[in-house]
């Protein structure tokens, strides 16, 4: 398993458009990918738009992005870079 702490800096958080972009990238990887708030045990499937919207990460929040599988490192790094690019 490979994990990385991410920071949401998009003014509107991980709302519909960024979440859809996130899921589209996540779907390209074979690994199981999850997101969770820091200090929370609830895991959210990062390949599900419904789950990401339910997680509702807002501007300024930190989360743990994890992947498990053959391409876990590539998946986490690509998705982390995507989150960093959301700065509207």
Active site (catalytic) residues: 15
Give phi and psi for 73, each to the nearest 5.
-65, -45
């Amino acid at each position: 398993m490979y994990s990385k702490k991410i920071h949401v800096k998009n003014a509107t958080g991980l709302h519909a458009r960024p979440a859809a972009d996130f899921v589209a990238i996540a779907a390209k990887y074979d690994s199981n990918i999850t997101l969770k708030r820091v200090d929370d045990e609830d895991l959210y499937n990062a390949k599900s738009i419904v789950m990401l919207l339910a997680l509702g990460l807002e501007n300024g929040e930190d989360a743990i992005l994890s992947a498990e599988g053959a391409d876990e490192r590539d998946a986490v790094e690509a998705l982390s870079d995507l989150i960093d690019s959301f700065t509207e």
